Amino acid sequence: MMIRAEHPADIESIYQVNAIAFGREHEAKLVNRLRGLPHTLSLVAAVGDAIVGHIFFSPVTLEDVNAKNLMVLGLGPVAVRPDHQHQGIGSQLIRQGVEHCRQRGSRTVVVLGDPQFYTRFGFTPAEESALRCEYTVPEGAFRVLELEPGALQNCRGLVRYCPEFAHCE
């Protein structure tokens, strides 16, 4: 298996991976809406010529004057075809994706997801960093990972996702 940046020829396969993994087209359509925005990152897991996994990062904003020069990315979605799940592919996508974000200058990543799963990668409850999500989410599901220690020092407030998230069907 190889993890690499998305290529234009991968778009349909990425759509299928997301649709199959989530059992609906919501996340697949979201990726298509976000694709091409500045500061996004799209990686695929490929086995031979087949795309079996995908991860996407897009910029979010933190409504805090102390965070105006802080690049924060939102992780999601991350998807693995059901026939390739439980093989560590999703974990590898997250680890390599986070490292790519760090190399691109992001200082923080946020995620909405299973607290137990994301704790393995160092994500902590966002409320511990005085951050809250613009959406109503279950307690502990909104999480944050500082890629640079102290990146969120003196930052607090509401995290907003790209407007494309609001147009979810």
What is the assigned CATH class of domain 2-167? alpha beta
What average pLDDT does the chain have? 94
Q: Per the structure block, which two tokens stand in for 57?
A: 């990062």
Q: What is the pLDDT of residues 61-81, one digit of tens each?
A: 998 756 677 889 999 999 999
Task: Give residue 50's identity as a one-letter amino acid code.
Answer: A
Q: What is the pLDDT of residues 18-30, one digit of tens each?
A: 999 999 999 999 9
Please confirm whether the linkage preceding 77 is cis (ω < 30° from 0): yes
Give residue limits of the domains in the chain. 2-167
Q: What is the pLDDT of residues 83-136, one digit of tens each?
A: 999 999 999 999 999 999 999 999 999 999 999 999 999 999 999 999 999 999
Taking only Cα atoms into account, the Rg of the chain, rounded to an integer number of angstroms, comes to: 15
- pLDDT value for 85: 97
DSSP the chain: -EEEE--GGGHHHHHHHHHHHHTSSHHHHHHHHHTTSTT-EEEEEEETTEEEEEEEEEEEEE--GGGTT--EEEEEEEEE-GGGTTSSHHHHHHHHHHHHHHHTT--EEEEES-HHHHHTTT-EEGGGGTEEESS---TT-EEEEESSTTTTTT--EEEE--GGGGG--
pTM, to two decimals: 0.95
